[in-house]
Amino acid sequence: MQKSDTTRTAPRRKRATAECCTDLRCESGLRNNYFEGKRLTPDTFRIEQRYLNERRRLLNRAVHGWGVVYGFAFDEAAAKDQSRSEAAGRVTIGGGLALDQCGRELLETGRRLTIEDLIVVDRKNRQTTVDDLVKEHQDASSKASRQQPKAPQPPVCGLISVHYAEQSTDGVTLTDACRCERHEWDHVCETVRYTLRLIDCDRCCRDWECALCCSCGHGACCDHEDRREPHDPYKSADQRPPYDQPTPLEQRATHKSDHVEAPRRTNCEELPFKRGGCRCLCDHLTHLHPGRECDGVFCEIDEACARVRVDVRHGVPLACVRLEIDDCDDWVIGEVIDACGPRRLVKRNDLLFDLIRGCDLTRIQEIGWAPWHRQGSTDPVPFDDFQAAFGKRGYDEVEYVTRDFWVRFSKPVREATLGPDCFAMTIMGVAHEGKWWHAQRVPIVRIEPIPGESGDPAEHVRGATIVVEGGWAEDALWGRGSVFHGHTWVELEIRGDFILDCNGQPVDADAVGRVPAPSGNGSPGGTFLSTFPVAPREPHQRQPPPYTGDRTKGASS
C-alpha cells in the first residue's frame, strides 16, 4: 500500500493522573481556528471581534500613546455668529480623532454642547451635579481661609474631556422554538461622550509631566568606558582600565608568544559618537505596561433616548472653560480659557521628524554684520568700516544706535524677554606685557526693537538693534582709545536661552559653521557666537570737536 504524501498524526493521549491540566484562559490573545465543518456560533464571532479589537488597541496605546491626534477645535467664531440667546452657554466642538489610554479610537464628527450634555463627575469619577461640586469646593475654600469669610469667591473653572462610549442600537425581536419572544440589539454604536470636572483656574495651563522618568544608573550603553570589553554590571568604574590603555586581554594578544586573538569589536566601537540614555530608555520600556486596567470600567449613563456605557476613567482632556450663572440661576458654559494647554497630543511620524529637525523653532534669520561673520585673520575688517558700523559720529551723545549691529528673527519674539543682557560684544586686544589677549566688554545700554510684521501678536517684535554708551563710542572709536591701535578681535554673542518666541520656546541661536544665518542646530536655546578681526587704526591725533559758536567773532578778533 502506497503511503500518502500527507499524513495526519493523532494527538498523543496523556495518562490520567491526579494532577490533570485544566483549561486555562489564553491571556496573550485567543483567535479562531477555522476548519471545514466548524460550527459558527455567536461566541465564535465574539472571539473574532475581541481578538481584532484588542490587537489594534494594544498597538495604539503601545506605539502611538494617547491624546488628541487631530481636530476637536473649540470654534468660538461659530458661537459668535449665532444670536445672543441661542449661543449663550454653548460651545461648538469640531470633528476630530483621539486615542485614550486604552488605545480606543475616539471619533467626533462635530457637535454643539451645553452643560446639560456634559457628564459632571467628581474626583472619584462619580456622577454628580455642578451645584454639589461648587458647594464642596467653596466649603473647602472657606475652611482653608476662615480668617476671611467674606472674601469674594474665586471664579469656577471646569475641564472638558472626551471619553469612549458605546450605545446599543437597532433593536430586534426574535422568536424561539418555544414561541418565546426576546429582544436583542442588532448593532453597537461606538461614540464619544464628554465629562466636566472642576479644576483650579490657575492650573488650566499646567505642563504635562514627562512620561519618561529614569533614576541615575551606572552608565549608559555604548559608554566609552565599556568599548574595550563587555559591560560587567558588577564591576565598579574604578576597576575598569582607562579608555586610552589596553585591557589585559589586549596586552596578551599583542605578545608574540601568545596566540590569543584580540577582542572582537562591538557595535558600540563602530559608532562615530556616543549615544547616551540607552540604559535609561531600556529601564523605562522594560517596566512599561500601558493600558492594563481597561476592562470592566464602563458606567451606564441614563440619557433621554437610551442608556449609554461610558468609560469616565480614561478620558482625553480638551479645554478649560469658565462656568457662569445665567439669568435663571443655572450654571452654563462661559468663555473658553484655554483650548490647547490641557491637551495631550499624539505625535505622528512626520511631526516627530519635523520636531527632530527643529522645524517649529525660531531662528536668527539675518544679522547686520553678515559680511564680517567669521572672517579670516588674513582679511581683517578695515577700522573705518568698523567705526562707521556704530553710526554717524556726534559730540557728547548719551548713546549711539548702531547702524550694522542688529539681528532679525524668523518668527516674532516676546519683547519683554529681549533686553540688553541678551547681547554681548567683546573687544580683544594684545596686551603689551606677555602678549596676552586682553578682553574688554562694550557697554550695551539698551536695545532698539524692530517692529513686528502684519499679523504678529501684540507685544512681539521681529528683532533688535544694539545701542551702546555714547561716552565709550566717542572715546574708543573717535578719541584716543588705544585698544584699536593694534590688531583686535571682536566677539558678538546672542544668547538664545534668554529670548522666547511667540510659542514660549527659546530661540535656536547656535551658530552653524561659517554661515551667518539662519542659525540653529535643532534644539531650543544656545548661543550665537560671531567673530571677526579688525585692522589696526591709522595713527593720527584726536580731531577737535566740531565748533558750534559764531565763527565771525573769532575772525574779527
Q: What is the pLDDT of residue 408?
A: 97
Judge residue 174's burial from the number of C-beta atoms within 10 Å of its C-beta, 0-12 exposed, 13-18 middle, 19 or more buried.
exposed
**Hunting for cell 534669520 — which residue is that?**
365
Domains in the chain: boundaries: 67-141+154-205+295-346, 224-275, 358-534
- Is the pLDDT assigned to residue 463 strictly greater than 60? yes
**Hunting for cell 559618537 — which residue is that?**
273
Mean residue pLDDT of the chain comes to 79
pLDDT, one tens digit per residue, over 372-414 is 999 887 889 999 999 999 999 888 899 999 999 999 999 999 9
pLDDT, one tens digit per residue, over 232-279 is 433 444 444 343 444 443 444 444 444 444 444 444 444 444 444 466
Q: What is the pLDDT of residue 3?
A: 46
Give the SS3 label for residue 281: helix
Question: Which range, of 7-16, 171-180, 417-426, averages the lowest pLDDT?
Answer: 7-16
Q: What is the pLDDT of residue 7?
A: 46
Give the SS3 label for residue 185: strand
Task: Give strand pairing partners of 492.
Answer: 425, 530
Give CA–CA dist 539/74, Å, rounded.
69
- Is the pLDDT assigned to residue 230 strictly greater than 80? no
Q: Which of 64, 66, 101, 58 is nearest to 344 (CA)?
A: 66
- Is the pLDDT assigned to residue 284 strictly greater than 90? no
Residue range 106-116: mean pLDDT, rounded = 92
Global confidence as pTM: 0.66
Task: Give strand pairing partners of 167.
Answer: 189
pLDDT band (50, 70, 90) for residue 518: very high
Q: Which of 212-216, 230-234, 434-438, 470-474 has the highest average model confidence (pLDDT)?
A: 470-474
Residue range 527-534: mean pLDDT, rounded = 96
Give CA–CA dist 38/32, Å, rounded.
10
Beta strands in 269-306 (DSSP E): 299-302
Question: Which range, of 109-113, 463-467, 493-497, averages the lowest pLDDT?
Answer: 109-113
Residue range 415-431: mean pLDDT, rounded = 93
Give CA–CA dist 412/460, Å, rounded.
6
Q: What is the pLDDT of residue 14?
A: 52
Beta strands in 216-306 (DSSP E): 299-302
Is the bond preceding residue 518 a cis peptide, omega within 30 degrees? yes
- Is the pLDDT assigned to residue 177 strictly greater than 50? yes
Question: Which range, of 205-209, 300-304, 430-434, averages the lowest pLDDT?
Answer: 205-209
pLDDT, one tens digit per residue, over 21-44 is 555 577 788 899 999 999 999 999
pLDDT band (50, 70, 90) for residue 88: low
Q: What is the pLDDT of residue 432?
A: 74
- Is the pLDDT assigned to residue 63 strictly greater than 70? yes
pLDDT, one tens digit per residue, over 68-82 is 999 999 875 544 444
